[in-house]
Amino acid sequence: MLKRLLFPFVVFVISTVILWYSPTVSESFRPKAYSNQEFVRASVIDVLAESTQSDPLVPSVKTGRQRLLVELLEGDEKGKQVEVENQLSRLHNVYVSAGDRFILLVREQGSRTIYWPYNHDRSSAVYWMVGIIVLLTVLFAGLQGVNSVISLYFTGALLIGVLIPALFAGWNPILVTIGLMAVKIVVNFLLVAGWNKKSLVSMLGTLAGVVMAGLMAQFFGEMAQLNGLYLEKGEDILYLGGTAQVQVRWLLFVAIMISALGAVMDVAISMASSYHELREMSPEQSEKDRLLATIRIGRDILGTMTNTLVLAFVGSALTTIMMVWGFQMPVMQFMNIPALSLAMIHGLAGSIGLIMTVPLTVLIASAVYQRNADLPASASASSSEPVKE
């Protein structure tokens, strides 16, 4: 049991170390803040004055103004009570009542301090959802669930603690992303399925699929005269500063690799497992028939997985699509809107990566299983412990 927990524990420690030391390591090239400001939690003691009315288009939203007496709950001025003006509009709407908690912006401007209601405190909802996911995963999957949670934690550490700083440091986005995705893929399958031939096939198939998706996104994105500048906030990144210039051109490749990774991993492990089971159950079956049977299984999987990616990317552009429909734009016009073109290329590139994952993984499986390697042919998917022959 202790041996089975050793590798997950090591991964957990490494992830924590990355997140802990990343801010310090990246301080030399991280963009500097433009203003001296901080965000703190605050509580409404009393609503001193209020002049609000329901928005005519969205009756559930109140617009107008409030004058609040609030207490700072954290920061250098913890415990201080101040009066703040709360301007309410349709988009910036931090309507509060006595006893409510919210996020307060505290900014030093010259000789005076500005206090501004920044937003509702939504973090508790996110933390509760994360807690529920972790609890359900561990409850229903046991040790395998713990490994899955640690794998997700490791992914967050790589993205936040390594990838983002590396991009701001000016490193080559393609090489950095491929390297980090390879590490993520290896660690994930070691945690979930252990070290065996099936895991090796899944690792190689996943890496091949996401690289294919990234290449398709970059190639067709540039064919359509799109690049990382057209990603949300893409242009703003250019003005953040820092010691190195972010290579925005290649961010399409990075974005699609990250977006498609989860779906491609599902397809790759499904293909590897299908091939493995067919080989175990029918060893007398010819290799050609086994490959064709595995690919037929892949066809059924692709029927839903490609929809998943396309719908996910289209969903991110839902309001834009609604505007297109509302304005009755001709096809020629809406097909060339950068946001829509980008969403379509993302979805289609991810689908291409998924489709190619099936034959690539099957070919890799055939090559790996037919080699007289020292890897075990099978292992329990519920253990990350190496399996001995």
pLDDT digits (tens, 9 = 90+) for 329-385: 787 777 787 777 887 887 888 888 889 999 999 999 999 988 744 445 444 444 434
Q: Residue 121: name the closest of 91, 107, 100 by CA.
A: 100
End-to-end, the C-alpha distance of the chain in Å comes to 19
Query: Residues of CATH 2.40.50 domain(s) within the chain?
Result: 37-121
* pLDDT over threshold 80, residue 135: yes
Neighbour-count burial of 13, counting CB atoms closer than 10 A to its CB (0-12 exposed, 13-18 middle, 19+ buried): exposed
How many degrees, rounded to 5, is the angle at CA 183 between CA 178 and CA 185?
A: 90
pLDDT score at 2: 63
Cβ partners under 8 Å of residue 337, min gap 6: 320, 324
Mutual orientation of helices 338-369 and 318-326 as an angle, nearest 10°? Answer: 140
Q: What does the longest C-alpha to C-alpha distance in the chain come to? A: 84
| pTM of the entire predicted model | 0.79
Mean pLDDT of 65-77: 91
Q: In this structure, what DSSP letter does residue 108 have?
A: E
Side-chain-side CA neighbours of 161 within 13 Å: the count stands at 16
Torsion of CA 119, 120, 124, 128, to 10 degrees: -110
Q: What is the pLDDT of residue 324?
A: 74
pLDDT at 73: 93
Which of 200-209, 260-269, 332-341, 344-353 shows the lowest per-residue confidence on average (mean pLDDT)?
Answer: 332-341
Calculate the average pLDDT of the chain.
84
Q: Can you tell me which residue has the tokens 């509760």? A: 128
- 8-39 pLDDT, tens per residue? 999 999 999 999 999 888 888 787 766 678 89
pLDDT of 297 above 80: yes
Question: Percent helix, strand, coil in the chain (nearest 5)?
Answer: 60, 15, 25
**Per-residue confidence (pLDDT) for residue 109, from 0 to 100:** 79
- Give the residue carrying structure tokens 């993520």: 184
Q: What are phi and psi of 383, to 5 degrees?
A: -130, 140
Pick the range with the lowest mean pLDDT from 100-104, 254-258, 354-358: 254-258
- Which pLDDT band holds residue 241 (cuts at 50, 70, 90)? low
Question: What tokens were used for 118?
Answer: 């920044």
Residue-level pLDDT at 378: 46
Q: Band of the pLDDT at 101, cuts 50, 70, 90?
A: very high
Region of poorest pLDDT, from 179-183, 188-192, 237-241: 237-241
pLDDT recorded at residue 373: 44
Quote the radius of gyration of the chain (alpha carbons, Å).
26
pLDDT exceeds 50 at position 89: yes
Q: Tell which wins on pLDDT, 96 or 234.
A: 96
> 366, 287 in Cβ contact below 8 A?
yes
* Span 37-121 CATH architecture: Beta Barrel (2.40)
Answer yes or no: is pLDDT of 388 > 50: no
Instruction: Tokens 């210039």: give the residue.
Output: 245
Contacts for 311-317 with beta carbons within 8 Å, 24 or more apart?
311/347, 312/259, 312/347, 313/259, 313/343, 313/344, 313/346, 313/347, 313/350, 314/343, 314/344, 314/347, 316/343, 317/343
The whole-angstrom separation of Cα 151 and Cα 341 is 33
Distances from the Cα of 298 to the Cαs of 206, 304, 361, in angstroms? 14, 11, 10
Using the predicted structure, report yes or no on whether residue 50 has a pLDDT greater than 70: yes
Q: Using the Cα atoms of residue 119, residue 123, residue 124 and residue 125 in order, give the sign of their dihedral.
A: positive
Which two tokens mark 278?
Answer: 């067919």
Q: 43-52, 96-105, 189-198: lowest mean pLDDT where? A: 189-198
Q: What is the pLDDT of residue 34?
A: 64
Mean pLDDT on 169-196: 90
